[in-house]
Each structure stands twice: as C-alpha cells, then as structure tokens.
Amino acid sequence: MNIKLVTVGKIKEKYLKLGIDEFTKRLSKYCKLEIVELNDEKAPENLSEKEMIMIKDKEGKKILSHVKDTTYAIALAIDGKNLSSEELADKLNNLSIMGKSNVTFIIGGSLGLSDEVLKRADFKLSFSKMTFPHQLMRLILLEQVYRSFRIIKGEPYHK
C-alpha cells in the first residue's frame, strides 16, 4: 500500500521529530510512506474571519496540488467520524482489497482545512472532539496507521 501524508507546517519539536522518525521507520516494513510537508501561510493574531478563510483557501490549494484524483483522501478533521483502531485497520484493509492502494491522509495547519479540501476528502477522520496541534497529530496518525498494519497482519502490539 502507498500511504501519503500531506501536512501543513513544519515539525519544530525535537521529541516529536524523534517519534515521527521512529514510526516512519517502523512503517517502512508495511507500506511505502511519503510525507509532503507544506509551508504554512503567515497567520498573525487578530485575523478577521475573511482573512482566515483566505489563508485556509491558499493552503488548501497547495494541499490539493498534492492529492491525486485517483487517491483515496482521508482528511483529519475534528468534526469528522470517530473510528476505533480496529475500524481504521478494516478501512485500510478493505481499500487495499478493492484495489485502492493509494491513500492520502491530510492534516491542516493552525487554522484547519479549507472547505475545498474537506469537500475533496473521501472520508473525514476525527481523533476526538479535542484539538491537537498539527505536529502532535502527525505522530498520533503515524502510530495509528502503524497499529492498523499490525492489526491487519495479526501481529502483536501494545493493547
């Protein structure tokens, strides 16, 4: 399976970088992983609603230029659907069985994802109603994708 991760914003925290590198390494046994890290747009405090939408739209266009028409796109969104780890594993496994072996996960920047990106998404995945910083979200997602492959393969992992 080919897993692509399109993200907005860099990983600045060293401890997160270490974790992301670890799961990237672990995942190499199960899939081809590509991470596209896009520069975020400058977003100073006190932006108006209109300005925020403009920034999200700009970031959204950059994101979509890395999302192929043929890929199954999963946008990470707080208002999306909650899945258990087993359900995410099932989803990835079913996609693979159906021949949809290109999956793109999308993580937004500090302002979130544009409507255009959310509309393009084939599935909106929520990790709870809580807001996570995009850097931490990347690590959590990679761990859950790794967990999915362990479940699919019937291999032991932490409970």
Ligand X SMILES: C[S@@+](CC[C@H](N)C(=O)[O-])C[C@H]1O[C@@H](n2cnc3c(N)ncnc32)[C@H](O)[C@@H]1O
129 is in an annotated binding site: yes
Q: Interacting stretch for ligand X, rule CB under 6 A, among 10-18, 45-53, 88-96, 120-128?
A: 120-128
12 and 138 in contact (C-beta within 8 Å)?
A: no
Q: Interacting stretch for ligand X, rule CB under 6 A, among 16-24, 25-33, 57-65, 70-78?
A: 70-78
- Distance of closest approach, residue 132 Cβ to ligand X, in angstroms: 4
Structure tokens at 72: 């199954």
Give the span between the Cα atoms of 93 and 32, in whole angstroms: 15
Sign (positive or negative) of CA dihedral 124, 141, 145, 56 = positive
- Distance of closest approach, residue 110 Cβ to ligand X, in angstroms: 5
The reply to whether 110 sits near ligand X by the rule CB under 6 A is yes
Q: 130-149: which residues touch ligand X (CB under 6 A)?
A: 130-134, 137
Structure tokens at 58: 């700009």
Q: 50-69: which residues touch ligand X (CB under 6 A)?
A: none
106 and 76 in contact (C-beta within 8 Å)?
A: yes
Alpha-carbon distance values, 36 to 2, 52, 64 (Å): 13, 23, 12
42 DSSP assignment? P
Q: Interacting stretch for ligand X, rule CB under 6 A, among 22-30, 39-47, 124-132, 147-155?
A: 124-132
Strands 32-38 and 72-82: unpaired
| Contact residue for ligand X among 76, 88, 89, 142 (CB under 6 A) | 76
- Distance of closest approach, residue 158 Cβ to ligand X, in angstroms: 21
Show binding-site residues for S-adenosyl-L-methionine: 76, 108, 127-132
